[in-house]
Structure formats: structure tokens, C-alpha cells
Amino acid sequence: MLFTDDFGRIKRIVARKARGKSLPRYVYRWDRRTPEEIKRTGFQPWNDSGDVTVIEHVKNSFAAHRPNPGMNVKEHSQFVSTGSYGMLSTLDPVFAQQVLNTNLYKIDTSLGGMRASDFFDVNDVFDRARIHRPYRTQREWAKQKGIPQEAVVEVMSGSVFMSQYDFKKGAPNEDKLTGWNII
């Protein structure tokens, strides 16, 4: 099994490199806060000066070498979780349970002075560390130091999103998703 896992990781790393995978123009975030609040604050991490690794952030647990291994890292993290459109095509069961009670925000990664180097492709980080990707379908891009409000360009309620979701085919193509409201 280890050989198969390693082969799969190497194959994915090489494929990302060959395709020239880069940060998408738009990333998305599910969040229960109101559009008015996000318009004021954007998406800020719990701890702007945190020293949590991407792996600790995703697992929400400090690594074994830390003073408090296993402790919840949420309040210590300098990252904000987002995902590429791929996370919407096949809803992760973790998110599927809360979609109707939340909002979907569209973030333009070219606005607000954001740099691509502040985003981390979580699946790539896990593959390179030879660690199982616990939420691979989320297509997560972890943003270090927050997302300014001017980069959050549109919002849609979870119920509007779900009215377009096909449980056999997934979400419509990115350019076909309707019901966005400008923030």
C-alpha cells in the first residue's frame, strides 16, 4: 500500500508541474457571516502572526514536536481556508451538512494586493510531505495573512447554490453558476 500511495503522490506532483498548475483567478469560501460583515472586514485569520504550518492548519491540530501536540490550532492559525471551483463540483460531506445555513463567497485573487505566494495548494503540500490528504475534494488553497474585503467580489446563499446543484453531476460549470450578488 505504501508503494501505491507514494506512486500516486509522485504522479500528482508531476502532473501539477507538467500542467503548470497555479493559483486560480477565483477561489471560494463557505462562511456563515453576513455579506455586510465580510464587506467591512474581509476574511481575517484568527492569529495574523501565527506560526502554524499548512498541515497543522488543515488537520486543526498541533504536530507532535510542538509543546501542546494535538491541541486545536484554530485560534493560533494565520491561514484562511478557500478552495478552487473544484470544491463545489463534488461537495465534501463535511460541508454538505451546513451548505443551506451559510453563504458562498467568490474571491478574486488578483485584487487587494494579494500575492500568489501567500496561497498554498493544500493537496500539493500534503503530497510533498507524503501525508494522506484528508480533504482532497475541497481543492483547498490556504491563504496566509487574510483576504482583504475588496477581493471578496460576490456572494450567494447556500440555498441558491443548492438549487443549481445536481447530485449526480455536481455543480454547473463555473461560468454557468448564477445567483451571485455583488458585495
DSSP 2-28: HHHHHHHHHHHHHHHHHHT----SEEE
Q: Select the more confidently predicted residue: 178 or 129.
A: 178
Tell me, yes or no, whether 57 lies in a domain. Answer: no
Tell me, yes or no, whether 36 lies in a domain. Answer: yes
Q: Compute the distance between CA of residue 107 and CA of residue 66 in angstroms, rounded to an integer.
A: 33
* Cβ atoms of residues 29 and 158 within 8 Å: no
| Closest by CA position to 183, among listed 162, 156, 161, 164 | 156
Tell me, yes or no, whether 10 lies in a domain. Answer: no
Q: What is residue 153's predicted lDDT score, i.e. its pLDDT? A: 98
Q: What is residue 18's predicted lDDT score, i.e. its pLDDT? A: 82
- H or E segment to which residue 97 belongs: none
Q: 145: domain CATH number?
A: 3.90.210.10
Tell me, yes or no, whether 16 lies in a domain. Answer: no
Tell me, yes or no, whether 42 lies in a domain. Answer: yes
> What confidence tens digit (pLDDT) does each residue in 35-77 have?
999 999 999 999 999 999 999 998 889 998 998 888 899 999 9
- What value does the mean pLDDT take over residues 134-139? 75
- What value does the mean pLDDT take over residues 93-122? 91
> What confidence tens digit (pLDDT) does each residue in 2-45 have?
566 788 877 776 777 788 778 999 999 999 999 999 999 999 99
Tell me, yes or no, whether 111 lies in a domain. Answer: yes
Tell me, yes or no, whether 15 lies in a domain. Answer: no
Q: What does the radius of gyration of the chain's CA atoms come to, in whole angstroms?
A: 17
Supply the range of the domain harboring residue 109: 23-47+79-182
Tell me, yes or no, whether 52 lies in a domain. Answer: no
